[in-house]
Every structure is written in C-alpha cells, then in structure tokens.
Amino acid sequence: MGVPIDGKKVAISYKGKLKKFIYDRSANGLRPPCIASILIGNDKGSLFYIRNQSKLCKEVGVEFKSIVLEESVPEKSILDTIDRLNLDSNVDGIILQMPLPSYLNEEKIISKIDHLKDVDGLTDINAGKFYKGEKCFIPCTSQGIIELIKSTGIKIAGKNAVVLGRSTIVGKPVAQLLVNEDATVTICHSKTKDIIKICREADILVSAMGKPRFITEDFVKEGAVVIDVGFSVLDGKMVGDVDYDAVLHKVSFITPVPGGVGSMTPIMLIKNTCEVLK
C-alpha cells in the first residue's frame, strides 16, 4: 500500500523556517518582505489562489498587496502598474495571476516584470538563467514538486523519471529540475506514442496534464513515486490526473489531490520572496 505524501506537512516545515527569517529581520529593525499580486479580471481559480496566498502571507508575517484590475483594462495600464511596482523599493516580489484575458499580450506583460522581483520565475531572463544553471527564481510549483519527492527519503539520482505535460510553468521546469538531480527524464505529451509503456518504466511519475483520473493502474510501475499536479472538478469533487484509489496499492508514495502539490506552491512563492532579501 502506497504512502500519501502530505504536502501540508512539508509546507508547515518550510513555514517555520520562513517565520524565523522574518522574525529575525524584525528583531534587527528591518521591514517584512512584501509580495504584490496582480489579478486582471475575476478568474475563480486565481481568486481562490490569491485568498490562499494572502492567508499564508499573514501567517508568516509577509505583507501582501493585492491589485485587482478590470478585465477590460487597457494593456498600457497594466504595464504602468508593473512599472510602479518595479520601482517601489518596498515591494520585493511581483506575481501576475494566470491566465490573462485572451486579448492581452501575455509575453509582453510578463517581460515587463523586473527579473529581480519575478518570484514566480516567468520572465525570459529567469527562464534563461534557469536552463543555463545560473542562480535565478524557479517556478514555484516545480520547486515544490522536487521538495515533495525529497521528503520521501528516496534518492532521485539515477532514477527514471517521466513527466506528463510540457508547459513552461510546470512540465518543462520540473523536467529540468529532475535532470539537475541526476535523474534520467522523459517528457510525454499529446503526441507521444506508447505513453502507457513509457510511464510503466518510471521510478518517478509526475503528471501535469489536467485530465481527471487519466492515470490508471496500467500506467504505473510497481513501487513508483507518483506526483499528481492535476487539478480538476469531477462530479463536484476536486480530483487529480491520477485515479488515486486505483493506483494507491501499487505505488510506494503518492500525492493526494487536494493536500499534495497545491500546498507547496504558495510556500515556495514566499520562500522565493524572502530570498530577495538575503
């Protein structure tokens, strides 16, 4: 029987370290870190994420500025808002809630964020530094995934890892992080042939597709570590890409949905922001 990886428990351990860092700053007369969040429109998923971000920031002592702009806001107004935050010495991290309304130029807006405040690791500068192996901000969800795998005590080096999904936010960066940990990595996507066969060879399987309960017992190698990044609503319930109940008996470790990867993303965001001040 597989062991659930408790993302909340791992996040709590990080929370303690961050609270100490912020307490020590305060004891030395220094201000707390500050994150500025920009939301354009009223996407329900983003609103849910912002509430979690704000709550967590309050718990650890980080200032959280929420900036909500109308969905019809001109692009220039968004760029001007980012400019002001870039120049504000009291703002340490800037996050742009995704997705953006379709009429906006996503690449142009992301690129406007100062890479030194890009705590979500989305700008071209941070992406380039990341893939060159230089110090930079790394996308938060991908960082969280690696921390969850490490929390199991298994050694990543030498393992066969399969990543399902090739997004620039999760799939590609988590694949690169696994390579950095000396795993042998295969990325699968919608055009991959014999996907079940490939997945069956994975010691570590990371699914970030957004297809509810797509990963069944047939996909999973005996004793594999399974990380489920998917998040969907099916029959009124939050579920992941993995058919959790069907594969639990076969794996060594697995992340539940909810309570797994999603618990790590906001804490990694705060970690990145604190590192601006180190």
Binding residues for NADP(+): 165-167
Annotated binding site: 165-167
Distances (CA, A) of 278 to 17, 168, 274: 14, 27, 7
CA 265, CA 234: separation in Å to the nearest integer?
22
- Tell me the β-bridge partners of 255: none
Collect all residues with Cβ–Cβ distance below 8 Å to 251 and sequence separation of at least 6.
2, 220, 223, 224, 225, 226
How does strand 204-207 pair with strand 232-234? unpaired
Distances (CA, A) of 70 to 38, 93, 97, 112, 125: 11, 22, 13, 19, 28
- Residue 187 DSSP SS3: strand
